Amino acid sequence: MAVYAEEFYEYLQSRNYSDTTIQNRKNCFAYFLRWCDERGIIEPSEVSRPVVERFQKYLFTYRKKRDGEPLSFRAQSSNLVAVRAFFRWMAKKNYVIYNPAAEIELPKLEKRLPKYVLTSTEAEAVLMLPDIREPMGVRDRTILEVFYSTGMRRAELMNLSIYDIDMERGTVFIRQGKGKKDRMVPIGERAILWVQKYLAEVRPVFASTPDNGTLFLTAQGDIFTDFRLTQMVRDYVEKANLGKKGACHLFRHTCATLMLEGGADIRYIQQQLGHTDLSTTEIYTQVSIRKLKEVHTLTHPGARLEPHEAHGTEAAAAPAALPPSF
């Protein structure tokens, strides 16, 4: 089955799927291949619907070795989607008679709110942490500023070219973002100033020959890996000691939420983030409660302390003691 899998991955490349999507499919399908191998299932023709249903049950009951936690429904769904896509392709190629995963019901995914979002004060606290007396500190500060100003994805920042930021117009051209779509987004003046400083003082020191024009480089002149960039941002967030966790995507959530609280229309935020579906962006209307808080304070009779209550001059201001029999 592994031989067919390699041909399937080549097919995905020919269809212009992103490297990230292909790698995710590889990782998920490798999970299924190992599961089959452990049970002596070698040939694709041996995979029936009951076999796929057994795999689905395995995913549901599986517990991670490191912490005993179950797989998230999203992880379960990703594994099953990879299996279904593989056998759909196999059926089209007439390598199998039918797709055994065609009618498998995927787990219903919960709509999760971002667990952590930074306030503007907290975001500024993180931005101030890089040591800008050092070249790496200037680079790190610039990366954080670009994340905060644009809300772009990690992969989008990693793929930026030195030609993608228009300093005069204050825009960033994001090439082949998620879904292989280009888009143009605004970037703030402060972030532009940091990009200019980085380009003038730091990148020439880091760049190696030949230079492919990638904007953000490691000190060795290499392109950032996913892990390295995530770890760099996470280290600064942890160092800020805000009691909040996150890395690159934390700034994406923060950018969207603060724009919404500042009065931006949800459709502009959709454009900024590059969401195809507006419902994906609308999740931030649930995260941002500042407007709701303002309305609650203005309209709810119990939301505000009267002046005499604030100074403790009325007995009713304090909760009464509970009776002994309570």
Q: What is the pLDDT of residue 66?
A: 80
Q: Is 266 left (phi over 0), alpha (psi -120 to 50) or beta?
A: alpha
Q: In what order do the strands lie in the sheet with 181-186?
A: 165-166, 171-177, 181-186
Least-confidence region, from 103-117, 242-256, 283-297: 283-297
Count CA within 13 A, CB hemisphere, residue 139.
21
pLDDT at residue number 26: 94
- The span from the CA of 260 to the CA of 184, in Å, is 19
Query: Helix 248-261 vs helix 226-239: angle between axes, to the nearest 10 degrees?
Result: 60
pLDDT at 308: 58
Mean pLDDT of 8-16: 92
Q: Are 257 and 288 in contact (CB under 8 A)?
A: yes
Tell me the per-residue pLDDT of 13-24, one tens digit each, with 9 for 90 and over. 999 888 888 999
Closest CA to 239 of 87, 90, 128: 128
Residues tagged active-site: 153, 178, 249, 252, 275, 284
Residue-level pLDDT at 326: 36
Summarize pLDDT for 168-196 with one digit per residue, the tens.
Answer: 999 999 986 666 678 899 999 999 999 99
pLDDT at position 182, please?
A: 85
Going from N- to C-terminal start, the domains of the chain cover 2-92, 120-287
Q: Is the bond into 210 cis (omega within 30 degrees of 0)?
A: yes
Residues, the chain: 326
Contact between 113 and 287 under an 8 Å Cβ cutoff? The reply is yes
Domain 120-287 has CATH 1.10.443.10: yes
Alpha-carbon gap, residue 248 to 228, rounded angstroms? 11
CA-to-CA distance for 144 and 246, rounded, in angstroms? 13
Q: What is the pLDDT of residue 319?
A: 45
> pLDDT confidence of 67, banded at 50, 70, 90?
confident
The yes-or-no verdict on residue 311 having pLDDT over 60 is no
- Mean pLDDT (the chain, rounded): 88
- Across the range 123-135, mean pLDDT stands at 97
Task: Write down the pLDDT at residue 314.
Answer: 47
The architecture (CATH level 2) of 2-92 comes to Orthogonal Bundle (1.10)
What span, in angstroms and rounded, lies between the C-alpha atoms of 172 and 175? 9
pLDDT mean over 140-148: 97
Q: With a threshold of 0.75, does the pTM exceed it?
A: no
Of 69-83, 132-146, 174-188, highest mean pLDDT? 132-146
- Which residue from 46, 251, 236 is spatially nearest to 137, judged by alpha carbons? 236
